[in-house]
Amino acid sequence: EGLIMLDADRKIQYMNQSCQDLFEVSGSKFIGQTISGFCDSIPMQEVVESALKGNVHTAMQELDHKKVQYFGNPILENQKIQGIIILVLDITERERTERMRKEFSANVSHELKTPLTSISGYSELIENGIATGDDVQRFAREIHKSSNRLLTLINDIIRLSELDVTTEDIMEELDICDMAANCVEMLQMSAEKHQVQLSFSGEPQMVTANRQMMDELIYNLCDNAIRYNNPGGRVDVSVYREVERVVLEVKDNGIGIPEKDQERIFERFYRVDKSRSKSTGGTGLGLAIVKHIIALHDNVKLELRSKLGEGTTIYVYFTK
C-alpha cells in the first residue's frame, strides 16, 4: 500500500516506496513540495481538501495502466489539523476480478436459461395436451436433450469452481502414456460418429501429476480435436520423451483456430463458433478447465499451435 503524509500546508513530508512504485516516480524530489506538484488530479484534490476539513474521504483514479483508490485521513492534535495521511491502494486486480466475476455470472445465467426455457416450453405443450401423436415423442426428445445439456453445463461449472478453490491436490507418479491410451479407447465411438480417425502411439512415460486432473485434461483436448474436425479427418495422440521433459501431443487436421482467437479460447465460455460448439455438446468451459489444471501444476506447461483450415496441435510438457 502506498502512503503519503502531508502537513497542514499540503506539503509532502513523507512518501513510502510502494507509493513511488505505484506512480513510477522517485519520491525524494517531491519531499517538501505541495501535493499538487506530485499529483494534481481531481480525486486527489478532493481527498486532500476534505481531509483538511477534518473528514475521512475516499476517491478513485485511473493511472496509466492502473486504477488506484485514495483514502484521506486528517491527523488531529488538540482538535487542530496537523496534517493528513493518504493511503493509496492499487485496486487494478480487484476491479479486474470483480469484472470477470460479473461477466461469468451473466454468462452462466444466460447459458442456463436457454435449455431451461426449452424444457419449460415443451413440457407445457405436453401438459396442456397441445402436443399429440409423434409430437409428444419429438418434444420429449428436446426435453431430454436440453436436460442433458443443463447437466453437462452444471457439471463443468461445479468443476471450475472446485478448481478455483483448490490450492493443492494429491500429486502422484503416473504413466501418462497409459492414461492417454485409455482415453483414446474411450473416445473411439465418438470419433467414429464424427467420421474421424483417432490413433494413439507412445511408450510408458512416468510424470508427476494429479490423476483425476490429467484424465480431464486429456479427455478435453482429445474431445475437442474430434469435435472441431471434418469428416475424414484425423486425430493423432502421442506421448514421447524429449531430453528434459515428457510430451503429450494431441494433433488434429481439423478446422483450426483463427490467430486472433487463439489466446481467448482458454477464457470461460469463449467459443470461436458458438453454434458449432453447442451442436456438438460443447459448453465453452473445457479449455478453461484445462487452463486451471495447468495452473495447479508447477511442472506442466501447455503450448497451442494452430492454423485456420489446417488443424491444431496442443503440446502438454511435463518436467520433473
Positions touching ligand ADP (CB under 6 A) are 220, 224-225, 228, 252, 254-257, 265, 271-273, 277, 282-288, 312
Instruction: Using the minimum distance from each CB to ligand ADP, give the nearer residue, 33 or 155.
Output: 155
User: Is 137 or 148 the residue whose CB approaches ligand ADP more closely?
Assistant: 148
Looking at the Cβ atoms of 210 and 224, the one nearer to ligand ADP is: 224
Identify the residue whose cell numbers are 499529483: 39
Task: Output the smallest distance, CB 91 to ligand ADP, in A.
Answer: 30
Give the C-alpha separation, 248 to 302, whole Å: 10
Least Cβ distance, residue 254 to ligand ADP (angstroms): 5
The DSSP secondary-structure symbol of 41 reads -
Query: Measured from the CB atom, is 22 or 222 closer to ligand ADP?
Result: 222
Q: Of 87 and 294, which CB lies nearer to ligand ADP in the complex structure?
A: 294
In angstroms, give the least distance from the CB of 118 to ligand ADP.
19
CB of 61 to ligand ADP, least distance (A): 36
82-116 burial, b for 16+ CB within 10 Å, e for fewer?
Answer: ebbbbbbbbeeeeeeeeeeeeebeebbeebeeebe
In a 13 Å sphere around the CA of 28, the CA atoms on its Cβ side amount to 0
Q: Report the candidate in 60, 87, 53 with the shortest Cα–Cα distance to residue 71.
A: 87
**Nearest CB to ligand ADP, comparing residues 227 and 297:** 227
- The rounded distance, in Å, linking the Cα atoms of 18 and 27 is 10
Nearest approach, Cβ of residue 259 and ligand ADP (Å): 12
Of the two residues 172 and 263, which places its CB atom closer to ligand ADP in the complex? 263
- Helix axis angle for 176-186 and 211-227, nearest 10°, is 40
The residue type of 198 is: L
Compute the CA torsion angle 262, 265, 267, 268 (nearest 10 deg): 170
**How many CA within 13 A on the CB side of residue 252?**
29
